[in-house]
Amino acid sequence: MKRRLLILTWLATATVAFGVRGYAHHSFAATYFEDKRVTIEGELVQFLYRNPHSFVHVETKDPKSGETVRWAVEWGAGGQLGRQGVTRETLKPGDHVIVVGNPGRNDDDHRLRMVNITRPADGWKWGGQFE
């Protein structure tokens, strides 16, 4: 009985959790390694606040070659971010940011799915899930 209750509780939790999972026009699972995380730190060079998904472009230095790498970090749709207090003015080119994200499956894309972002200069942070 206890086990059945546990299973039912898990199922209910999973249903709620999955119920609020994202509406992505692409498959996140096919696009990113959802079970991996990487951290990048660098200068924000572009903030594309838009539908279907916003993008933050961050330039970092490759520690081995010293070459500049431009990362595309995928984020929520403009409307979704707006409901979370993120506006198109929240981030600006030149901001120094630290981003944690799920890495893209295509290495050439230098792409991440946003998990969290921090701007150390003023301590601003965002973390969470997006659709």
How far is CA 79 from each of CA 22, 25, 66, 122, rounded to the nearest angstrom? 13, 15, 37, 24
Q: How many angstroms separate the CA atoms of 106 and 26, rounded?
A: 14
> For the CA atoms of the chain, what is the radius of gyration?
17
Nearer to another protein, 97 or 104 (CB): 104
Nearer to another protein, 40 or 111 (CB): 111
Rule CB under 8 A: which residues touch another protein?
A: 15, 18-19, 21-31, 34, 48, 50-52, 55, 57, 70, 72, 74, 79, 104-106, 108-111
Structural contact between residues 48 and 74, judged by C-beta atoms closer than 8 angstroms: no
CB of 50 to another protein, least distance (A): 5
Nearer to another protein, 62 or 122 (CB): 62
CB of 1 to another protein, least distance (A): 26
